[in-house]
């Protein structure tokens, strides 16, 4: 009996991405698995049902989808849908456990083994599965375009008959994947770009993209896994003084700071926004975690004085086609760790080989990305966060 894999239609408000695209579905079909996709699942990404070719099955039966051995999704399904899943089946999606305790409870009650894509470790072998990075690259690119579109000024230097217009200044806070993409895109558009990150080892990457790296004296906050750690009060004060000075000179500010499993760090105060020049804009990519700016309102546009603050909470969904394509490939690469060939088929042709669902808990990627298994929350950080919210 072959492994059944299913993709539901996303139900979260404003979600346009889908966990499977035709190109990746064709690759999965060659693994001799049964792939079922919910009717209309790709509509938000402009992927019609007929784009998926046989043997992929399109179904409007929720029991077909949630009764599969493996369910692939962008966001974890609601508790009712999880309740339809088989005990011992697998869910692979973003979960954000600290924000969704009811989802984790439903997964445990149903006995579902879940792998949270935000928990995939940042090790070399897992780079092709790193959905956080693939989606962050989409967010950073779009953030630069949003800043350019929102400004009532040119980004590049222009020499005209009416005189020369100086390039706009863009300040990017956070030089992770999203930040670096925002830097690169802003630079391509012709802006003068400045960037800051508490991790001073990002300086070389920032400068390689043509931006100037800003430093707050005595502040360095590298942490395990390539993320930033929380700053001390004294470090925060130094950081804010330096940023306030540079923000006052910027036309656009893009913030991308995030700490996994925790609210977005508050970097920009009301006073810092007050000091920004008239007509400037702030794009806050930390909005889904509460915002990097204390004035940010998720999914709203806030006008503070003559400064406009944008707080989009799901920027990759604004690039649904390519964001979905990258995410589906991340899932395909991850799936190959748990959907493996049956033993004793060395002489069989690839098209004839059968596969089984098998989880090797000695695999670092699987062990670290697992959230729930056999009715228990197995990720310690998520367990502590949920206990703290109880």
DSSP string, 135-155: HHHHHHHHHHHHHHHH-SS-S
Let me know: does 169 contact 189? Beta carbons within 8 Å: no
Phi and psi for 314 in degrees, rounded to 5?
-140, 70
**Interatomic CA distance for residues 83 and 111, integer angstroms:** 9
Structural tokens at position 68: 């599969």
Residue 269 CB burial class (10 angstroms; 0-12, 13-18, ≥19): middle
Give the H or E element holding residue 70: strand 70-75
The set of catalytic residues is 122, 127, 130, 133, 227
Coil vs helix vs strand at 214: strand
Contact 187, 167 (CB under 8 A): no
φ/ψ of residue 116, rounded to 5:
-90, 120
Residue 376 backbone phi and psi in degrees, to 5: -125, 150
């Amino acid at each position: 009996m072959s492994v059944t894999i299913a993709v539901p239609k996303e139900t979260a408000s404003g979600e346009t991405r889908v966990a499977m695209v035709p190109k990746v579905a064709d690759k999965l079909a060659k693994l001799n698995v049964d792939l079922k996709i919910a009717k209309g699942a790709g509509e938000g990404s402009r992927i019609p049902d007929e784009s998926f070719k046989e043997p992929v099955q399109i179904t409007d039966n929720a029991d077909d989808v949630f009764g599969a051995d493996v369910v692939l999704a962008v966001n974890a399904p609601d508790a009712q849908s999880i309740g339809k899943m088989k005990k011992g089946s697998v869910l692979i999606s973003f979960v954000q456990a600290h924000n969704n305790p009811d989802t984790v409870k439903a997964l445990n009650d149903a006995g579902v083994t879940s792998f949270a894509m935000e928990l995939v470790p940042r090790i070399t072998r897992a780079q092709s599965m790193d959905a956080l990075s693939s989606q962050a690259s989409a967010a950073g690119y779009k953030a630069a375009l949003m800043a350019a579109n929102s400004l009532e000024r040119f980004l590049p230097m222009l020499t005209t008959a009416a005189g020369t217009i100086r390039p706009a200044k863009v300040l990017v806070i956070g030089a992770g994947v999203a930040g670096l993409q925002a830097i690169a895109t802003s630079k391509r558009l012709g802006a003068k770009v400045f960037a800051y990150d508490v991790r001073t080892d990002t300086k070389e990457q920032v400068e390689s993209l043509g931006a100037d790296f800003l430093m707050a004296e005595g502040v360095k906050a590298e942490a395990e896994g390539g993320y930033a750690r929380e700053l001390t009060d004294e470090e925060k004060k130094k950081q804010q003084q330096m940023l306030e000075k540079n923000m006052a000179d910027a036309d656009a500010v893009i913030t991308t700071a995030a700490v996994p499993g925790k609210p977005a760090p508050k970097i920009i105060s009301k006073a810092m926004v007050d000091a920004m020049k008239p007509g400037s804009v702030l794009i806050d990519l930390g909005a889904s975690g509460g915002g990097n700016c204390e004035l940010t309102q998720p999914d709203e546009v806030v006008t503070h004085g003559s400064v406009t603050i944008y707080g989009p909470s799901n920027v990759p969904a604004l690039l649904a086609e390519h964001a979905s394509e990258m995410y589906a490939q991340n899932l395909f690469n991850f799936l190959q760790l748990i959907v493996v060939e049956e033993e004793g088929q060395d002489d069989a042709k690839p098209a004839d080989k059968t596969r089984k669902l098998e989880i090797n808990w000695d695999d670092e990627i699987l062990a670290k990305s697992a959230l729930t298994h056999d009715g228990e929350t197995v990720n310690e950080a998520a367990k502590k966060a949920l206990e703290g919210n109880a």
